[in-house]
Structure 1
Amino acid sequence: MKVIHLNTYDGNGGAGRACLRLSDALKANGIDSKVLVYYKFGQNFKIDTFSKTPLQKAKAVYNILAERYYSKWLSKSVKTPFSLQWFGRSIINHPEVKNADVVHLHWINHGFLTPKFLAELDELDKPIVWTFHDSNAFTGGCHVRYGCENFHQQCGNCPILKFNGPNDISHKTWLRKQKAYTKLNFHIVAPSKWMAGSIKFSSLLGTRKASVIPNTIETKIFKPYVKAEAKKILKINPDKFVLMSGFMPSKNDKHKGTPYLIEALEILSRRPGIKKENIELVIFGNKESAEMPTFPFKTTFLGTINKDDHLAKCYSAADAFITPSLEDNLPNTVMESLACATPVIAFTTGGIPDMVKHLENGYLAEYKNAEDLANGIEWLYLHENKEDVQKAARLSILTNFSEDIIAAEHIHLYETLINLHPK
């Protein structure tokens, strides 16, 4: 069986990582699986690209930048990503696409596949699978919806757009997608129960079949290390209780919930059972530290970590991983942390409850409740059997998200779709 995975970028972002991890898992289980991206930044020999020649690369860069800047110009000053999908390219004549038994779409925005070029895939006359890594496929342009329910109807009056109204760009994009989807039969994969539920409410795709199959992770790379030794590698006192968090953009960032983390840490620092000098905050993937907010505990900024084995040691050095995200499908950081036996403290939102089991392998705080987020940190800080929680974290990944389990679920889906496809 030949499966071709299509993504805009090669591992640049959560969708790219999830796409490559799935392809590797499938190959390890005997499937001829390949990743083909619109624009390739890295040197990974396992990933091929549509944009090989200088002219193809230049066209791709133009499309990507035009899509991003036009979207930014038409959007309000809010940190909610929005895609116009005006720019794209046809892929149906590419030999890898034509020779595949199954075409598996992932994240295809930023100048790659517009609704028009998506509809063309019907000409291939083969099963199309599409994993939704965010909400864009069933909205009029936004990738993160928060409380907006316009996608239940036909979009329009978009709160993100500068020029909004009943017939605004979001509504016109919705109509373009509707036209394309009526021509293209595809099977949806939702990585989380939350995403599957969202799809059912959408006016565009609510009647389509969707399978809930999570992303996977490299369990032999993201694995536990001895915490005391991992802390020494990061030059942290082994006796410190280490809190870790991922990319902290700015205090005003909406999607990542940074203000809630700051407030939770402030609340925690004032509690009588907490010794501030015993706690250290570690942040990886940050921008310039000058942009960082002020935290009430000693803070170490690790910067961007490009090697997964070192990242696994960083997770292992932490006693708790905190993600204050307000909307996330199935965040890689949560899965990575749990795989390294580091419990996760997060809001009850998106697909996070699919991974974090309250008071078992982590703590699920009430949504947008900084006080409860602090409760979660304190719960783990004062826990008498931290090792039990750590073991539960690792076991939850091996049991539900390991490579073989997720590969088998995808293979079963592919085989079912091939057998159902008209010969």
Structure 2
Amino acid sequence: MKIAIFSDTFYPDINGVAQTLKKLTNYLEGQHISYKVFAPNPASTEYVSDHIHRLKSLSFFLYPECRIAFPNFVQVKSEIEQFSPDLIHVATPFTVGLCGVYFAKKFNIPIVGSYHTDFNDYLHFYDLEFLSNPLWKYMKWFHSPFKKLFVPSIDTLEKLNNRGFENLEIFPRGVDCQLYHPNYQKELVLTRYGISEKFLLTYVGRLAPEKDLKTVMKIANSLPPELNKQVHWLIAGDGPLLEELQMAALPNMTFTGYLNGVGLAEVYSATDLFIFPSPTETFGNVALEALASGTPVIGANAGGVKHIISNGVTGHLCEPGNAEDFVTRIVQLLGNDPFRNQMSLNARKYALTQRWDQIFDNLLNQYSAVIDEPAKKIYA
């Protein structure tokens, strides 16, 4: 089996799509399955691989971390002819994704896609709601040739199904429970960031409007004064709102910048409650990472997150944007150690069932089913 992956983002980019695709290619290597990735050249050149064909690109003005690629169709055609893939997997609906769709049709190669980001939900946070109808029309047209469209959650599947999308399959996310676990030393994190308060509340993610950081700030400003004296906030991530958030920050709030690897895992493990108000997640990788670390999650009852958190068992689901609802749950859990400790055990137990290898095994079976469908590959 030979798999060609077309994506407008890939490692070392910092986002859920890039991380998921990197885990997929790691899995393919472990299974000795040939693959070729077509992706924009990154801002950083620290990662080089013979399996990746990099495309010239420029930074995107709304998302400076993301890049718009300008594929050289002659070069890509040559790569495709030389590699001769059995399947094309398109992960994003921009220029690289369009390139993948074009060559799948040109060479009659079976094509599948994955739906990672609900861009329509982002429009509200950028005052671009007027683009909703044309965006949905484009997304439906773009994904119509796919033999299967892999979506990360039931919520996304239902949303797309209601919009008339076809051939939908669940492709959830797993978590590395060897990296993310509850047994790191909390004191290391407290010392590293100069924290003396009793409780640690953490947000991890991109610092951007669609993550609803305004609600985080409202929550931080609404905690009862006596409890607030015992709480310290860690905000882990980077993005366009960083400077604005720092200017509005309370004295008990620390911005760590972007974290990954053991540094991020230590923060999750040291955290008493993970606060995640984002209503725009198709899945919510960071919520699952927190659960793997034995940290209960208080999140928005929206998107994929509502299928990760078991309400009252591994955390709580709150009305999106309702800071009072979040505050009520925080007060309840920080005031009840036995209940919070039981949630922590439940969280870790659930995360242990979310194994990447099982998820990718199923994806591989889906690939095989598409490849085995009657079709004739003709090179032009």
Same-fold status (TM-score > 0.5) = yes
Residues 280/159 of structure 1: CA separation in 2 closer, same or farther (3 Å cut): closer
Partner residue of 1:277 out of 207, 229, 252: 229
Give the residue type in structure 2 aligned to 1:94: E
SS in 2 for 1:9: coil
Deviation of 1:389 after TM superposition, in Å, equals 1.4
Match of 1:373 in 2: 326
Residues 178/316 of structure 1: CA separation in 2 closer, same or farther (3 Å cut): closer
Give the residue type in structure 1 aligned to 2:330: I
Give the residue type in structure 2 aligned to 1:5: I
Distance 1:82 1:200 in 2: 28
Identity rate, percent: 19
Match of 1:7 in 2: 7
Match of 1:391 in 2: 345
Deviation of 1:311 after TM superposition, in Å, equals 1.1
Deviation of 1:313 after TM superposition, in Å, equals 0.9
Distance 2:23 2:174 in 1: 6
Say whether 1:50 aligns with 2:53. Answer: yes
Residues 179/324 of structure 1: CA separation in 2 closer, same or farther (3 Å cut): closer
Distance 1:44 1:227 in 2: 31
Deviation of 1:403 after TM superposition, in Å, equals 1.5
Match of 1:190 in 2: 151
Q: CA RMSD in A?
A: 3.5
Distance 1:46 1:296 in 2: 44
Residue pair 1:245, 1:283 contacting (<8 A) in 2 also:
yes
Residues 42/196 of structure 1: CA separation in 2 closer, same or farther (3 Å cut): farther
Distance 1:97 1:366 in 2: 52
Partner residue of 2:102 out of 105, 110, 119: 119
Residue pair 2:195, 2:232 contacting (<8 A) in 1 also:
no
Query: Where does 1:251-262 land on structure 2 (aligned, <5 Å)?
Result: 254-262=209-217
Residue pair 1:7, 1:35 contacting (<8 A) in 2 also:
yes
Partner residue of 1:16 out of 18, 32, 43: 18
Matched residue pairs, number? 367
Distance 1:334 1:30 in 2: 31
Deviation of 1:337 after TM superposition, in Å, equals 1.5
- Where in structure 1 are there 5+ consecutive unaligned residues? 73-78, 137-141, 148-157
Residues 46/309 of structure 1: CA separation in 2 closer, same or farther (3 Å cut): farther
Say whether 1:326 aligns with 2:264. Answer: no
Distance 2:187 2:148 in 1: 46
Residues 248/17 of structure 1: CA separation in 2 closer, same or farther (3 Å cut): closer
Query: Where does 1:141-156 land on structure 2 (aligned, <5 Å)?
Result: 142=120, 144=122
Deviation of 1:347 after TM superposition, in Å, equals 0.8
Distance 2:142 2:248 in 1: 48
Higher deviation after alignment, 93-102 or 403-412 = 93-102
Match of 2:27 in 1: 25
Match of 1:152 in 2: none
Match of 1:302 in 2: 256
Residues 199/297 of structure 1: CA separation in 2 closer, same or farther (3 Å cut): same
Distance 1:279 1:180 in 2: 47
Residues 143/130 of structure 1: CA separation in 2 closer, same or farther (3 Å cut): farther
Give the residue type in structure 2 aligned to 1:4: A
Residue pair 1:126, 1:421 contacting (<8 A) in 2 also:
no
What per-residue deviation string (whole Å, max 9, x for no partner) do you get for residues 65-88 of structure 1?
A: 4xx35xx6xxxxxx9x999x9965
Match of 2:180 in 1: 222
Q: TM-score, normalised by structure 2?
A: 0.83
Query: Where does 1:109-258 land on structure 2 (aligned, <5 Å)?
Result: 109=94, 111-114=95-98, 118-136=101-119, 142=120, 144=122, 160=128, 171=134, 184-202=145-163, 206-232=164-190, 234-236=192-194, 240-247=198-205, 249=207, 254-258=209-213
Match of 1:139 in 2: none
Residue pair 1:345, 1:364 contacting (<8 A) in 2 also:
yes
Match of 2:87 in 1: 102
Residue pair 2:211, 2:277 contacting (<8 A) in 1 also:
yes
Q: TM-score, normalised by structure 1?
A: 0.75
SS in 1 for 2:200: strand
Residues 8/210 of structure 1: CA separation in 2 closer, same or farther (3 Å cut): same
